[in-house]
Amino acid sequence: MTKVLLVDKVNVIAKEMLEKEGFEVDLLNDLSEDEKLNILPDYQAVVIRSSTNLTQKYLEAGSQLKLIIRAGEGTDNIDKKFAAEKGMIVENTPGQNSHAVAELALAHMFGLARHLQKADATTRAGQWEKKKLKGTELLKKTMGLLGGGKIARHLAVMAKGIGMEVIVHDPYLKSEDIEFPLVEFEELLKKSDYLSIHVPIVDSTRGMIGEAELAKMKKSAHIINCARGGIVDEQALADAVKGGVIKGAAIDVYTKEPAVADNPLIGVDNIHLTPHLGASSDEAQVNCAVAAADQIIAYFKNNEVLNKVN
């Protein structure tokens, strides 16, 4: 019988679906790294989210693994090259949490525009800061999208719905591929009032937004990153906001997670921080779990590979 391990609080619907198909399934949350290492040899398939890093050490331990599924889109927490060398297939569940991430990015824009975090904190502290917290409207502002994939397109439609202008930079797209204007990277930086990042973390995007790029932006501009940590240089961003180079930022993802007290973004006024909440909606987690279960069933029952990324 094929054994499947679900970790990182993968929604229980995946377990229910797989057990109906005759799989033996363990849903084990809050395992330590040593515990994961010790039990991996027992399984032919594993489903993870962002909390588990399947490095070479773990893949070597999982000697029976045939299928690794990331319940989500980003797979930078899996050593895909080594997995391929070991004959292990890595899949993800693209598009299942796209709307959730787009909504969080939009929520961050509203939060920045209307100083919602500071308004909440000062009001709770018994202060009435109405005059100091005058905000700006998103209407007629320009939202720049770095990347033009599913999440970016959801966000673009939402932004258009509230009257924002939308521009996109994505070197892999042609004008006929997307309904919003494509611009060069430098134009995106110069024109964006809100620059929302939607690219994966790869060699070409690591540190893509640094001191030089921030200096090209409007002093009134904001950056939103709900994609992956490392795309934005965290120290450069902290310095830019503190120095008035740009106005603010909202960050959901970090170079090192969980973010700890020495992260340069923590404590900087007008940088809003959330703990990697992009895909953390009830609906998105159900969607990802269902997709992961479908992919396991397809592979082991029908010898079908649906979303291979290695």
SS3 content of the chain, % helix, strand, coil (to 5): 35, 15, 45
The closest of 250, 249, 185, 184 to 212, measured between CA atoms, is 185
Half-sphere exposure of 225 (CA within 13 A, CB side): 26
Identify whether 206 is a catalytic site residue. no
The closest of 57, 16, 83, 65 to 286, measured between CA atoms, is 16
Q: What is the DSSP letter of 169?
A: E
Asked, as a colleague might, if the bond just before 258 is cis with ω within 30 of 0, I would say yes
Q: What is the DSSP letter of 103?
A: H
Given the residues 257, 272, 283, 304, select the one marked as catalytic.
Answer: 257
Contact in structure between 139 and 163 (CB atoms under 8 Å) = yes
Residue reference for tokens 């060069």:
184
Identify whether 276 is a catalytic site residue. yes
Which amino acid belongs to residue 93? T
d(Cα 73, Cα 292) in Å, to the nearest integer? 11
Q: Which two tokens stand for residue 285?
A: 């987690």
Given the residues 99, 108, 198, 276, select the one marked as catalytic.
Answer: 276
Q: Distances in Å between the alpha carbon of 191 and those of 39, 47, 139, 249?
A: 51, 41, 15, 16
Half-sphere exposure of 178 (CA within 13 A, CB side): 24
Beta partners for 89? Answer: 67
Q: Which two tokens stand for residue 96?
A: 């299942």
Rounded to the nearest angstrom, the gap between the alpha carbon of residue 114 and the centroid of all alpha carbons in its chain is 24
Given the residues 99, 198, 228, 272, select the one marked as catalytic.
Answer: 228
Residue environment code for 22-36, b if the CB has 16+ CB neighbours within 10 A, otherwise e: ebebebeeebeeeeb
Identify whether 228 is a catalytic site residue. yes
Give the catalytic positions in this structure: 228, 257, 276
